[in-house]
């Protein structure tokens, strides 16, 4: 019952905020006055009032100058770590619920003024009884409950987008489902402590010039994360000042190498590198914090992505087309290949259709790669120099070609988008394709190891699954594949009817 009333209250708050600002918008539209469009400051205020997931939207928008006007992006940057702090009167209650003690009873020293405050939590400085200098990430009261309510809204939005057919390159329901899944994990700080420890181990093992704060699991709870305090400034502060960090080429090269290495070779990577989550350390090095969103990528997906990224960085068009077709699912090619087997009398027409499709795909990729490499060499416009902007164009090309982009590529784009936009804003002459190409040259042997790595067994062969269940799940998987093949045959017959 308490949860029901909490959810109802959340919907009332959302409704009130939307109605209030909607009424103001309508009044200005009907009776004149100030321009009838919400200003960056007003829109930021709306998102702050709604909180939680809506703040997350603002955070994502802050690093998308290719989609949103610059004034809005700059205003939204404040949502990364300048959200109104938790009511000080509630702070002791959080600690009493998690530890049964006030913060001063747990820590040698606790600074009650937060260093930063973001969508789901805020950061405080403290010292452990043993003397270690630590940062505390404290979750806002009812953050998880509010997100649970918002998740229903986002689920409905994903369903509506799928039904309307507005988005075709990815399944919006699947994207929303993944967003909900990973945000729920982000709200569990025990998971984040595990992410930090795993990323830290990868950095130390591979001798990467990156610093990940050490977590203290013995002090960490689901709502309070205790980790090593890193001295430095967030990259966001440099972004707002339009000033690059010290030695920017090395700094950004190290950041790119870390994310590429983690994604492609380790298969576990920091998936939220926005400017407030990257530190410019006092030593000038790179620090990654806030690992609430860290993802695991299958070996098969990593191999395909590595081949494609390596081919595009070398500007090898033929290899880029080949590896792109390996990366994505292309139903049309499957249909045409099936048709060639079943209708050999129409092989010329089928081959012609296939050639038209491949020529269209190759032409789109050639244009995309040519503009990217040319802009990077000759200091062209930012949207042409940004590889992730090129990926967004690739998504559009895929939509026009009837291609479905896999979830792993969506994660790749989401992760590197905020990183490369920040890089190009602070260091416009930084050549990203050249840096990526250098990465593959340096780690050529590691790339070969990935190519020879054994791919994961089917999901139903995972350790711990009973043999009887393995057989049931194997049969189910075969049925799904059979339905896919049947659908391809139906579409193939439709194409063949146009040839008859």
Give me 218's structure tokens. 């013995």
Q: How many residues does the chain have?
A: 500
| Beta pairing partners, 432 | none
Q: Which of 146, 272, 384, 420 is catalytic?
A: 272
Provide φ and ψ at 82, rounded to 5°: -125, 35
Coil/strand/helix, residue 120: coil
Give me 103's structure tokens. 């913060």
User: Residue 266 catalytic?
Assistant: no
Q: What angle do CA 238, 413, 359 make, to 5 degrees?
A: 130
Give me 65's structure tokens. 């100058």
Q: Give me the half-sphere count of Cα atoms (radius 13 Å) on the Cβ side of residue 361.
A: 24
CB 492 within 8 A of CB 342: yes
The Cα–Cα gap between 186 and 147 comes to 11
The Cα–Cα gap between 248 and 265 comes to 25
Sequence-distant (6+) residues with CB within 8 A of 231 are: 281, 282
The Cα–Cα gap between 142 and 281 comes to 33
Say which residue the tokens 């990526």 belong to: 436
Catalytic residues: 272
């Amino acid at each position: 019952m308490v949860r029901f009333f909490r959810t109802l209250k959340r919907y009332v708050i959302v409704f009130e905020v939307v109605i209030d600002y909607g009424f103001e918008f309508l009044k200005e539209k009907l009776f004149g006055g100030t321009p009838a469009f919400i200003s960056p400051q007003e829109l930021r205020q709306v998102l702050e009032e709604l909180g939680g997931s809506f703040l997350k939207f603002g955070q994502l928008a802050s690093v998308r100058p290719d989609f949103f006007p610059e004034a809005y992006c700059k205003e939204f940057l404040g949502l990364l770590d300048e959200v109104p702090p938790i009511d000080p009167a509630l702070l002791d209650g959080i600690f009493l619920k998690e530890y049964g003690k006030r913060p001063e009873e747990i820590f040698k020293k606790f600074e009650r003024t937060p260093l930063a405050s973001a969508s789901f939590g805020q950061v405080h400085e403290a010292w452990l009884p043993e003397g270690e200098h630590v940062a505390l990430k404290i979750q806002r009261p009812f953050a998880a409950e509010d997100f649970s309510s918002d998740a229903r809204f986002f689920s409905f939005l994903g369903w509506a987008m799928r039904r309307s057919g507005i988005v075709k390159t990815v399944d919006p329901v699947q994207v929303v489902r993944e967003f909900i899944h990973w945000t729920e994990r982000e709200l569990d700080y025990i998971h984040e402590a595990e992410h930090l420890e795993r990323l830290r181990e990868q950095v130390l093992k591979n001798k990467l010039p990156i610093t990940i704060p050490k977590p203290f699991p013995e002090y960490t709870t689901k709502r309070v994360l205790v980790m090593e305090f890193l001295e430095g400034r967030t990259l966001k502060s440099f972004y707002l000042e339009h000033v690059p960090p010290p030695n920017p080429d090395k700094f950004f090269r190290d950041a790119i190498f870390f994310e590429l290495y983690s994604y492609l070779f380790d298969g576990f990577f920091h998936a939220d590198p926005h400017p407030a989550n990257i530190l410019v350390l006092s030593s000038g090095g790179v620090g990654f914090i806030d690992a609430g969103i860290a993802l695991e990528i299958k070996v098969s997906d990593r191999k395909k992505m590595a081949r494609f990224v390596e081919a595009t960085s070398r500007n090898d068009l033929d290899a880029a087309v080949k590896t792109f077709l390996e990366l994505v699912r292309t139903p049309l090619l499957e249909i045409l290949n099936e048709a060639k087997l079943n209708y050999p009398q129409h092989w010329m027409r089928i081959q012609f259709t296939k050639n038209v499709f491949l020529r269209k795909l190759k032409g789109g990729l050639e244009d995309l790669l040519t503009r990217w490499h040319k802009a990077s060499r000759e200091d062209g416009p930012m949207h042409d120099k940004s590889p992730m902007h090129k990926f967004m164009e690739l998504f559009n090309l895929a939509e026009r070609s009837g291609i479905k982009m896999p979830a792993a590529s969506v994660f790749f784009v989401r992760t590197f988008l905020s990183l490369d936009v920040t890089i190009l804003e602070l260091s416009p002459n930084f050549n990203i394709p050249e840096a990526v190409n250098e990465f593959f040259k340096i780690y050529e042997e590691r790339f070969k190891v990935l190519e020879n790595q054994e791919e994961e067994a089917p999901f139903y062969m995972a350790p711990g699954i009973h043999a009887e269940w393995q057989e049931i799940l194997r049969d189910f998987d075969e049925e799904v594949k059979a339905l896919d093949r049947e659908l391809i045959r139906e579409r193939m017959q439709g194409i063949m009817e146009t040839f008859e």
